[in-house]
Chain A
């Protein structure tokens, strides 16, 4: 497709070249700095969570009737009787060594709980993202071409109206509707768990449809704009076949803007798994965190919030890198 026969510049050049002259190196340094700051904020906030809870979180967790010595023992187990700086350092050290503490309810190491639950959530999010992109890109490109300037006013109106309405439906409500139609009325697909391949269909689609439609809208608008651009006329002047013009020249330029919004959608999708997992009894982090919030199992909640946060940060980083690869100008741009 977009044939680049020249190898991309290596991120690190030979010694002696100045950093300023190498956009990739500057981009990497700037982006890494932002990632580290965000990560530090995230870790600190997740640490602070238990301390922000008004009153005594342990008393709150165990209930007013719990004996005082049990509360005291629990406080000690959580390390809450140490000075706060010591607690913070302890927390950081734990993170560095993969020790996320112990669940107050199940007494299992939190790291084990996360390791056991993370794959299901990860698979769900990644599949939903792939489906969203696989739907959004062709839909956006095709509607963009159909509604380019001077064409398809009615198609445009129909598409815009439908997409606004579909995009407003929250994923969990869509999930409930899908459960009713395909699970109960038609009985075609399982509505709970992740044991079989068909069980993936409904959760993945409840998560994917909203972002897919929003993304398709953005790609359409971008395509309509890009198809008016001079370089598309140049591509036509080169008498390239239509599919090369649309896919090779117009799409990469439409996607760069879509990616920025796509990144936000993707991180929202990561969070959206929490609700959808609860609709479909999906054995992932989302159902675990809700149960842990209800049982006040703070170490587990803390760890899962951290995992989601890291997921969001990685997503944002991936989007920025993809942007830099697709649009050579974006890595020069300062924020």
Chain B
């Protein structure tokens, strides 16, 4: 507890605020003692004098020194504000905790009353109470105190409700302890801290409000004076001596700010651990490297078969991390041909989603994409974005994301979100685009499409939303659909529908598909070719048909083995891959999988194997392993600790 409070003081803002608050309080205590007589001294020779060496802020209409009066007024201003905030907190506490003590019916009525009162601004309530209690300091204290009560009542209600939900309160209630006793013993001690913090902030606001009332002439009355009263007198003579209004104004502002900042920094210090967000600041990095990729890409374009839709060479993704740049994708190369379905599989953190975002240029600004070549339909995606490219991509490259619950804009109708593609990129009128949206939703087998386009995303089920998302991709005429875990967030029953739909679209229109998944079975079922990723690299590229029977990389084989099938003995624990995935911030030398690999030898830990077609393997099968295809030892007998130990 003590430590947390000192931590508050140690932040620069907290320290400033603490010093200010201490200074204000000291001034309140000492001011009248030191300057009380000086502030009252009437100097008829210097009435309404401008600032001078003798009177730094000038004098008022009786020739009294403004600066001294402002200093002396600190005590009254602060005392009145503290009185007011005390009234507000006490009344708020009573009103806010009463519903708990009173029980359901009258408690609810009281809470409703507080809710109505809270809707009215404090100043309005203060004016109301000022009328009731009369003009003057006492009336103003009561007015501001009572006007602040509803806000504290609301706060107390919320806090009490939070504590009451906890187990020990329920236990106390079950033991038959009275509600009042529970409130005092269990609830109040637990809400004291936030209340005190808010009261500190409230003290600043009370001071400002009090100044407001005195400034209106409704607060402190002559011959007493607080800052508001001085301001009231000062503004009347602002043309003669502006300092008479500005100095009390500045005093109020400084003191109010001190209390506010103190409260805010205490709240921050108690709620959020200090030092957060002080990690490395990566200075403005451009997402797209300015220098163009190697010219080799250009010449090679001629020899490439024309049916290549997407061509990726040596793709790297770099993101800023807390301890320097991290490279979650480290040199990935593949191509996708017209109508081909490529699956990318791997554990979370293997870089597969990063790859998807990089090849579609959707990686947010903090990531940097480098590649020897990144071409989609012959267009260089590494070049700066242009309107023409946006149009091409907008109509020919479709994306399907993992979570259909969040991938649609919740504030717009489904139809409008689909139609947007057509109005922006295909120059359609709104009417034509709307008609196309209906047509596309029907195409992805959404029943009653004309009515459905008028609905909002929250009115769709998860599976329907994912189909609508695919339908959105079909607004243009896509050559490639990139689907990043499209079924992961869905019920098992609708997963198959979505996969069938993707397959159907691919077959019907010769659309290429890049399907990213952690699920080997899904990928094996839908795709022609599978890329297995591990620690930001492709470790195996093989035909889907070979996955179960002819996988050569130990990691791929482990992934396949981890899938339970009809012959799996359910009494045994399910097979897992021992060890943990590699942290992208700390990729070991050599083969990244070596630490988890039963075949790993000295060469694996020293040299990273390249992705090549095996000498005896089929041509369409590439693997990055020094021990590709070697028989695996029996899984038992290996110690977990030994596996995660780094060399």
Interface residues of A (CB under 8 A from B): 2-6, 37-38, 41, 45, 49, 52-54, 60, 148-151, 153, 164-165, 168-170, 172-173, 176-177, 179-180, 184-185, 228-231, 233-241, 244, 248-249, 252-253, 256, 267-268, 270-272, 274-275, 278-279, 289-290, 293-294, 298, 301, 305, 308-309, 312-313, 316, 326-329
- Contact between A53 and B131, CB atoms less than 8 A apart: yes
State in angstroms the CA–CA spacing of A252 and B454 once bound together.
Answer: 18
Given A267-B119, A271-B121, 11 new contacts (CB under 8 A): A151-B365, A180-B245, A233-B407, A234-B401, A234-B409, A240-B424, A271-B123, A279-B235, A293-B127, A293-B131, A327-B411
User: 0/1 per residue, B81-123, Cβ < 8 Å to A?
Assistant: 0000000000000000000000000000000110010011111
CA distance A169 to B122 in the complex (A): 16
Docked-complex contact B403 and A230, CB < 8 angstroms: yes
Given A176-B249, A312-B121, A312-B124, the answer on whether A149 and B131 have CB atoms closer than 8 Å is no
Chain B's closest residue to A2 (CB) is B412
Q: Does any Cβ of A come within 8 Å of B431's Cβ? A: yes
Contacts of B454 in A (CB 8 A): 6
Instruction: Tell me if B431 and A5 are in contact (CB < 8 A).
Output: yes
Interface string of B469-485 (1 = CB under 8 A from A): 10010000000000000
Chain B neighbourhood of A45, CB < 8 A = 128
Chain B residue with minimal CB distance to A267? B121
- The residue that B120 contacts in the complex, of A185, A238, A244, A309, with Cβ under 8 A, is A309
Find out whether the CB atom of A176 lies under 8 angstroms from the CB atom of B434. Answer: no
Report, nearest first, the 10 A-B pairs whose CB atoms are least far apart.
A150-B366, A239-B394, A271-B121, A237-B399, A230-B406, A271-B123, A239-B390, A5-B430, A231-B409, A268-B121
Q: Could you say which of B113, B211, B360, B456 contacts A237, with CB atoms under 8 Å apart?
A: B360
Q: Is B425 an interface residue (CB 8 A)?
A: yes
* A305 with B416, Cβ < 8 A, contacts A150-B365, A312-B120 known: no
* Contact call A233/B410, Cβ cutoff below 8 A: no
Q: Known interface pairs A230-B406, A234-B401, A278-B216. Does A169 touch B253 (Cβ–Cβ under 8 Å)?
A: yes
Residues facing A in B412-446 (CB within 8 A) are: 412-413, 415-416, 419-421, 423-425, 430-431, 433-434
Report the bound CA distance from A240 to B113 in whole Å: 48
The residue in chain B whose Cβ has the minimal distance to the Cβ of A156 is B277
Residue of B nearest to A151 (CB): B365
> Which residue of B has the minimal Cβ distance to A154?
B281
- Contact: B132 with A177, CB < 8 Å? no
Q: List chain B residues, Cβ under 8 A from A270.
A: 121, 124
A-B contact pairs, 9 of them (CB 8 A): A2-B416, A3-B430, A173-B231, A180-B245, A244-B420, A268-B121, A270-B124, A274-B123, A329-B458
Do B390 and A49 have beta carbons less than 8 Å apart?
no
Interface 0/1 of B207-228, CB less than 8 Å to A: 0100110011110000000000
- Which of A49, A150, A234, A256 makes the CB contact (< 8 A) with B132? A49
What is the distance, in angstroms, from A134's C-beta to the closest C-beta of chain B?
Answer: 22
**A180-B238, A316-B119 are contacts. A6–B434 as well, Cβ < 8 Å?**
yes
Within 8 A of A (CB), among B110-157: 112-113, 116, 119-124, 127-128, 130-135
B460 CB–A CB distance under 8 Å: no
Tell me whether B256 and A168 are in contact (CB under 8 A): yes
Q: Which of B257-265, B302-310, B538-546 contacts A (4 or more CB under 8 A)?
A: B257-265
A176 touches B235 (CB 8 A): yes
* Cross-chain contact A176 with B231 (CB below 8 angstroms): yes
CA distance A268 to B253 in the complex (A): 19
Contact B416 A148 (CB under 8 A): no
Distance, CA A49 to CA B130, complexed state (A): 10
B410 pairs with A327, CB closer than 8 A:
yes
A298 touches B120 (CB 8 A): no
Knowing A234-B401, A290-B217 touch, does A3 contact B420 (C-beta < 8 A)? yes
Q: Which residues of chain B are within 8 angstroms of A176 by Cβ–Cβ distance?
A: 231, 235, 238, 245-246, 249
Residues A328 and B456 in contact, CB atoms below 8 Å apart: yes
Query: Is B197 interfacial (CB-CB < 8 Å)?
Result: no
B271: CB under 8 A from chain A? no
Partner of A301 from B131, B208, B425 at Cβ < 8 Å: B131
Q: Is the CB of A294 within 8 A of B366?
A: no
How close is A167's CB to chain B, nearest CB, in angstroms? Answer: 9
A174 vs chain B, min Cβ distance (A): 9
Q: Identify the closest chain B residue to A165 (Cβ).
A: B257
- Is B264's CB under 8 angstroms from A184's CB? no
CB nearest neighbor in A for B213: A275
Q: Kindly state whether residue B582 has any CB partner on chain A within 8 Å.
A: no
Residues of B within 8 A of A252 (CB): 409, 411-412
Residues of B within 8 A of A54 (CB): 132-133
Of A151, A248, A294, A327, which contacts B218 at CB under 8 A?
Answer: A294
Is B526 positioned at the interface, with any CB of A under 8 Å from its CB?
no
Nearest B residue (CB) for A242: B385
Min Cβ gap A250→B in Å is: 9
Given A41-B116, A241-B424, A328-B410: A5 in contact with B362 (beta carbons within 8 A): no
Residues of B contacting A253 with CB < 8 Å?
409-411
Bound Cα distance A102, B231 (Å):
33
* B132–A52 touching, CB < 8 Å: yes
A236 touches B362 (CB 8 A): yes
Query: Which among B122, B215, B282, B360 is the interface contact of A278 at CB below 8 angstroms?
Result: B215
How many Å lie between the Cα of A329 and that of B410 in the bound state?
Answer: 8
Q: How far is the CB of B124 from chain A (nearest CB, A)?
A: 5
Across the two chains, which residue of chain A brings its CB closest to B456?
Answer: A328
- Our pick among B123, B398, B399, B453 for the contact of A275 (Cβ within 8 Å) is B123
Docked-complex contact B116 and A38, CB < 8 angstroms: yes
Complex: how many Å from CA A169 to CA B132? 28
Verify if B204 is at the interface (C-beta below 8 Å from A): yes
User: Would you call B410 and A238 a contact (CB within 8 A)?
Assistant: no
Q: Which of A5, A290, A305, A316 contacts B124 (CB 8 A)?
A: A305
Bound-state Cα–Cα, A313 to B127, Å:
17
CA distance A312 to B121 in the complex (A): 8
Output the nearest chain A residue to B402 by Cβ-Cβ distance. A230
Interface residues of B in 332-382 (CB under 8 A from A): 360, 362, 364-366
Residues of A within 8 A of B421 (CB): 238
**A105 to B121, alpha carbons, bound, how many Å?**
28
- Quick check: is B252 within 8 A (CB to CB) of the other chain? yes
Residue of B nearest to A249 (CB): B409
Instruction: Please measure, in the bound complex, the distance between the C-alpha atom of A164 and the C-alpha atom of B16, giving whole angstroms.
Output: 14
Q: Which of B128, B217, B416 neighbours the largest number of chain A CB atoms within 10 Å of its CB? A: B128
**Does A168 lie within 8 Å of B253, measured CB to CB?**
yes
- Chain A hits for B133, CB < 8 A: 54
Q: B72 interface residue, CB < 8 Å from A?
A: no
Is B557 in contact with chain A by the CB < 8 A criterion?
A: no
Q: Report the Cα distance A80→B123, complex, angstroms.
A: 28
Chain B residue contacts of A149, Cβ below 8 A:
364, 366
A3-B423, A329-B410 given; A293·B252 CB < 8 A: no
Which residues from chain A contact B362 at a C-beta distance below 8 Å?
233, 236-237
For B239, list chain A residues within 8 Å (CB). Answer: 184
Contact A274 B132 (CB under 8 A): no
Q: Does B284 contact A (CB under 8 A)?
A: yes
Interface residue B578 (Cβ < 8 Å from any Cβ of A): no
Q: Which residues of chain B have C-beta atoms less than 8 A from A229's C-beta?
A: 406
The answer, yes or no, to whether B626 is at the interface (CB within 8 Å) is no
**B462 at the binding interface (Cβ < 8 Å):** no
B215 to chain A: closest residue by CB: A172
Residue from B121, B235, B410 in contact with A231 in the complex, judged by beta carbons closer than 8 Å: B410
Are B282 and A150 touching (Cβ within 8 A)?
yes
Cβ contact of B127, chosen from A236, A244, A274, cutoff 8 A? A274
Pick from B120, B264, B366: contact of A267, CB under 8 Å: B120
Query: Is B391 interfacial (CB 8 A cutoff)?
Result: yes
Cα–Cα, bound, A221→B401 (Å): 25
Whether A3 pairs with B281 at a CB distance below 8 angstroms is no
CA separation between A176 and B393, bound complex, in Å? 56
CA distance A298 to B127 in the complex (A): 12
Chain A residues within 8 Å of B135, by CB:
293-294
Are A6 and B245 in contact, CB atoms less than 8 angstroms apart? Answer: no
Minimum C-beta distance from B476 to chain A (A):
10
Q: With both chains docked as a complex, state the minimum distance between the C-beta of B490 and any C-beta of chain A, in angstroms.
A: 15
Considering the complex, give the chain B residue whose CB is closest to the CB of A38.
Answer: B116
